[in-house]
Structure 1
Amino acid sequence: MASTAGHGHGAAADPPETRPPGGGATVRVRLMAAVVALTATALTVAGATGLALQLRDTDARIDDSLARAVTAVRTLEAEGQPDPAAPDDPDARVPWTSLDTLLRKAVETRVPGEDEGVVALQDGVLSWRPADETGAVRLDTDRELMAWLGDVVRDDAASAPVTVATAVTEYRLVAVPVDVAAEPGTHGTVVVAFDRSALTAGVRRIFLTYSAVGLFALAVVSAVAWFVVGRMLRPVRMLRDTVRRVTESDLSERIAVLGKDDLADLAGSVNAMLDRLERAFGSQRELLDDVGHELRTPLTIVRGHLELLDPSDAADVRATQALALDELDRMQRLVDDLVTLATADRPDFVRPAPVDVGRLTDDVLEKARGLGEQRFVVVSRADVTARVDAQRITQAWLQLLANAVRFSAAGSAVRLGSEVAGGRLLLWVRDEGPGVPPEEEERIFERFHRGQADRVQHGAGLGLPIVAAIAAAHGGRVFLEHPPPGAGPGVVFVLDLPAVGLVDGASDVSLELAEPHR
């Protein structure tokens, strides 16, 4: 998701990083630190695990070779030497008579491989080493190792592989004690050792290369993550900058929404909130302007007449009093209408209850007879019970009837009716007045909007908005229709409400019109 602030602007460059209040790290830095730490941890664990497994495998191969060496020495010691009395019989064997001979034979039969060394010690002193040690390890040249071997405890446990580290290298070795019965008190040791450092050097070189590659990969991941995190957080920074630029006098800033991710939803929600705030502030400013204008006129009229009042003229006093009371009544109606609109958004603005729509229609007809000299006719009556606020619906319906009286001639017919159609409850009023100009149809439900005829009659322009607010509070709407061609002049206002809680769907239609309001 990419975004730009404001209307009509192209894509803006990424805004600079700003440190949050208190000097803490930015979200981008914290995310980067987390990504780098997790990546470094994963690379380290993987490398350390691989290195440990490779070293363990190398030690296992060394230990296997040392175990075979121990077996070979024990076998040689147990078999004995060839029988001098039967030189022609290779299977004739007798116990060893010389420890030195046994040690020499043990060294000769063990041909050391690369990175392997063999020596024999007698009473802790070097006795034999291989004649050809090409590629082998010269154990006797490592004085620290030879000193350690001279102190080896003579027991079978010494035949177990051990690791010995000296200043020269690190060894993995076995020291096999051997004895000859013919020479009691003389002790020999056959030592087979591998240069563990040399054997593991290849593994360590591989993992040094791995470490270098891992550091390079970590650097690449960090650079890419810095860029990606920056792009991901760009809508958040745009949101922050947009909110900073929003003021009570300028709510036009918006964030362009691209994509369908969570940040796009956030930007869309903020834009919707800004739309609501802009409408609310605009409505508030318009309300204050219009209220000031509407109240200023009657106050100016009253003030002007009071300034010109002749207290000694009783007729002038009575006329001024009547005019002032009339203007005060008009201001009182304006204030009452404003209070109604101000409470329209409250949950308790309407209090629905089961209402007999047919009886409500008759009651509204009776109340409408005092609105003017027009002829009021009920064209259709819905004999159903619906959940509505009877007082608010009566208020809205009478407001529509009052409008019809205001804009139609005395003696003309004003029709009203109620009906159920398409799962909706329709309450309507039709007059025979001049109608509503097409250019004003979309605005007549706006607060303080007055048509040309309404301006002449000094209306405040709040009647129809109150009707719209009552309809909206019921989950419905109010709209305007024109009679079909040939049906005569006038206009039809319809309260379209959800048919909630309807009990009976019957509708009693008057004989005056075959179709109630179309």
Structure 2
Amino acid sequence: MASTAGPGHGAAADTPRPPGGGATVRVRLLAAVVALTATALSVAGATSLALQLRDADARIDDSLERAVTAVRALEVGQPDPAAPEDLEARVPWPSVDLLLQKAVQNRVPGEHEGVVALQDDVLRWRPAPETGAVRLDTDRELMTWLAEVVAEDAGASRPRTVRTDVTEYRLVAVPVRVPAQPESRGLVVVAFDRPALTAGVWRIFATYSAVGILVLAAVSAVAWFVVGRMLRPVRMLRDTVRRVTESDLSERIAVLGKDDLADLAGSVNAMLDRLERAFGSQRELLDDVGHELRTPLTIVRGHLELLDPSDAADVRATQALALDELDRMQRLVDDLVTLATADRPDFVRPAPVDVGRLTDDVLEKARGLGEQRFVVVSRADVTARVDAQRITQAWLQLLANAVRFSAAGSAVRLGSEVAGGRLLLWVRDEGPGVPPEEEERIFERFHRGQADRVQHGAGLGLPIVAAIAAAHGGRVFLEHPPPGAGPGVVFVLDLPAVGLVDGASDVSLELAEPHR
């Protein structure tokens, strides 16, 4: 399928196709289905044909072996007319010719079977025409070959195949002798017209081949239709991706059915949703960064243009203002760098940390954030694997937010505890709380609530907290105090309690209420 061009590389519809064109997926799948079906039909047909031909040959050879047995039994002698009927007395044959005559008479030719008898390479006996036997004597090439067999006395009496211009024979040539004429040699030949006997098998195979071709055509038509239906979401995906541009990511694929291709379409739609949000955030990022940097730059430029170098007081005031604005830009750049490195594997470096001591350290550092009363409500005296610096950074950010949005002298509570295999670090203030319509967006980059806009916040503090929590395999979320517990809001860092040593919690006597 075609791939979209990245931002700044033009529309996805301009993406070139692979050199040489190449067959479509539909054609390749159809070719594979047709090839597999044709192979299966061919193997099945060839196997069936081979088995039926082998069975036909086995039946022919069995009949020939029975003919040899009958001739050998007859060669022993003829029945004695003077002996009683219940005895099987035999007397020698007086001549080879009489033995050959009897052998031909006793053999009733079957379908496509012929019998001849030769004496000293001369044809002596054959069945009458009305028997329907194959006329072996009319095949000159066969008769010449039989004369050579008599001359060589090749009396193996085994079935063999002989091909002539007339047909292909499967036959036995049985040499016979009688004591009365030791110098005379006889030959009884029983032969089958093999192509005539196997013609039925070949007709069946021809019918099978014709049906196989029809089946192959039907399979091809059905496969073309089915593969087309199956690949419809892929074509829709291709067309949708081609229509997607860096300025329009609103295209979506219709999800049809519940198969793997439907899952693919849903996944691509989800990817487009993420891209749309990412590009939207990127544009907002550029707009917000431009705005945040443009304001201090404008302020510094304006004051520098109006600076009176001869007025020392004006120089000092302008210097202080410029340094203050530069510090604000530096904080913004530092926050952006922090968020940019949040996806790196070394963003956090977990190590065993005493959570109780970390709680006390954060409390001491928080006292310089404002004039609020900072109170540790619960302290988890455990050791867990976390990045102490990043956790301190996130925790202080939550405390800084609490200071910004609560009155001086009000209580800001913090605590740590272990519950359900999770390490919970939280902050609660007594401020006005977060409006319901903003609760879902406060962790988005550069999202600033109304209070943030008044206080000129950049909207990066809570996203940094969320990134630090995610890097630890956890999350940050907002809760409201239960009814009757007073105003404010609770921010909770919910982290997996990895490497936990002791799960006991030490609760402060000053405020023994849970954070929820």
Which interval holds the TM-score relative to the shorter structure?
0.7 to 0.9
**1:113 match:** 110
Contact 1:380 1:416 in 2 (8 A): yes
Contact 2:10 2:245 in 1 (8 A): no
Contact 1:32 1:226 in 2 (8 A): yes
Q: 1:62 to 1:313 in 2, by over 3 A?
A: same
Structure 2 gap segments, 5+ residues each: none
Residue by residue over 1:449-498, the C-alpha shift from the partner in whole angstroms, topping out at 9 and shown as x without a partner, is 22222212212121222222222222222222333344333333222223
Distance 1:56 1:137 in 2: 22
Q: Deviation at 1:254?
A: 4.3
Distance 1:20 1:86 in 2: 98
Distance 1:14 1:111 in 2: 84
Q: How many residues get paired?
A: 515
Distance 1:398 1:281 in 2: 30
Contact 1:444 1:451 in 2 (8 A): yes
Distance 1:128 1:10 in 2: 96
Contact 1:20 1:26 in 2 (8 A): no
TM-score (norm 1): 0.86
Residue by residue over 1:178-237, the C-alpha shift from the partner in whole angstroms, topping out at 9 and shown as x without a partner, is 334444543332222222222222222122211211222222222223333333444444
**1:270 match:** 268
The 10-residue stretch of structure 1 (257-266 or 154-163) with the greater mean CA deviation from structure 2:
257-266
TM-score (norm 2): 0.86
Q: Deviation at 1:294?
A: 0.8
Q: Deviation at 1:259?
A: 5.7
Q: 1:486 to 1:455 in 2, by over 3 A?
A: same
Contact 1:117 1:194 in 2 (8 A): yes
Residue by residue over 1:415-450, the C-alpha shift from the partner in whole angstroms, topping out at 9 and shown as x without a partner, is 323333343333222323222222222222222222
Distance 2:309 2:24 in 1: 76
Structure 1 gap segments, 5+ residues each: none
Q: 1:136 to 1:370 in 2, by over 3 A?
A: same
Q: Deviation at 1:503?
A: 2.9
Distance 1:510 1:6 in 2: 55
Distance 1:12 1:56 in 2: 63
Q: 1:386 to 1:45 in 2, by over 3 A?
A: closer
The 10-residue stretch of structure 1 (256-265 or 221-230) with the greater mean CA deviation from structure 2:
256-265
Residue by residue over 1:241-286, the C-alpha shift from the partner in whole angstroms, topping out at 9 and shown as x without a partner, is 4444444334444445556655455555544544444443332222
Q: 1:464 to 1:143 in 2, by over 3 A?
A: same
Q: 1:165 to 1:251 in 2, by over 3 A?
A: same
Q: 1:4 to 1:111 in 2, by over 3 A?
A: farther
Distance 2:479 2:39 in 1: 72
Residue by residue over 1:4-54, the C-alpha shift from the partner in whole angstroms, topping out at 9 and shown as x without a partner, is 9999999999999xx853344344333333333332232222222222222
The 10-residue stretch of structure 1 (460-469 or 291-300) with the greater mean CA deviation from structure 2:
460-469
The 10-residue stretch of structure 1 (104-113 or 7-16) with the greater mean CA deviation from structure 2:
7-16
Residue by residue over 1:271-311, the C-alpha shift from the partner in whole angstroms, topping out at 9 and shown as x without a partner, is 45444444433322221111011111111222222233334
Distance 1:84 1:429 in 2: 130
Contact 1:3 1:256 in 2 (8 A): no
Distance 1:216 1:447 in 2: 64
Q: Percent identity?
A: 91
Q: How does 1:435-514 map to 2 (within 5 A)?
A: 435-514=433-512
**Secondary structure of the corresponding residue to residue 309 of structure 1:** coil
Give the superposed CA RMSD: 4.6
Q: Deviation at 1:128?
A: 2.3
Distance 2:174 2:365 in 1: 122
